[in-house]
Amino acid sequence: MSNKSMKVCGVTVLVLLLLFCALGPSKWQVRTGFGWRIDHVVGYFAFTVMFCLAWPRPLVVGGVLMASAMLLEALQALTPDRCCDFEAALYGVSGALLAAVVGDLFVRLNGPALIPRRFRALVGGVARASPVFHQVGADPRS
């Protein structure tokens, strides 16, 4: 299996998991016990970090997941056992935004060192094309 197909499979699994978590039956939801607010922030933070491993452009990934948080929360109005809640959407957006900002900061400060060695093969093409990665290791005095 090639690196590109592994990446596509991983992203597909993450998208299906996110859809199930957002629109699946409410009886099957796993809760941490800390409250739904913390669950939304931590959940979207974790999903954003996982998506960033597949595509290391944290601000783009964060923007897509922030829009997805709003859309998935609105789609909950169409399910029989859930209701949409604007406050819950904002908590999801804040989790994705937090992960995107932290991820972008780490990428800017650390470059490819942020990405574990086993994931570098998956994101190698993106890492070589990014202007941030070209600056890593450059002599700042020149």
68, part of any domain:
yes
Structural domains in the chain (count): 1
In 3D space, the residue among 101, 117, 103, 102 whose CA is nearest the CA of residue 55 turns out to be: 103
CA distances from 130 to 103, 125, 126 (A): 15, 9, 6
pLDDT tens-digit series, residues 82-136: 888 999 999 999 999 999 999 888 888 876 555 565 555 555 544 444 444 444 4
The DSSP secondary-structure symbol of 34 reads S
- Is residue 59 situated within a structural domain? yes
| 67 neighbors 51 (Cβ within 8 angstroms) | no
* Phi, psi for residue 63 in degrees, rounded to 5: -65, -40
Give the whole-angstrom CA distance, residue 101 versus residue 42.
Answer: 15
Query: H or E stretch including 83?
Result: none
- Average pLDDT of span 45-69: 89
Domain that holds residue 51: 38-135
**Does a structural domain hold residue 5?**
no
pLDDT band at 59 (very low <50, low <70, confident <90, very high): very high
Is 92 domain-assigned?
A: yes
Q: Does residue 9 fall inside a structural domain? A: no
Report yes or no on 43 lying in a domain: yes
pLDDT digits (tens, 9 = 90+) for 9-25: 888 888 888 888 888 88
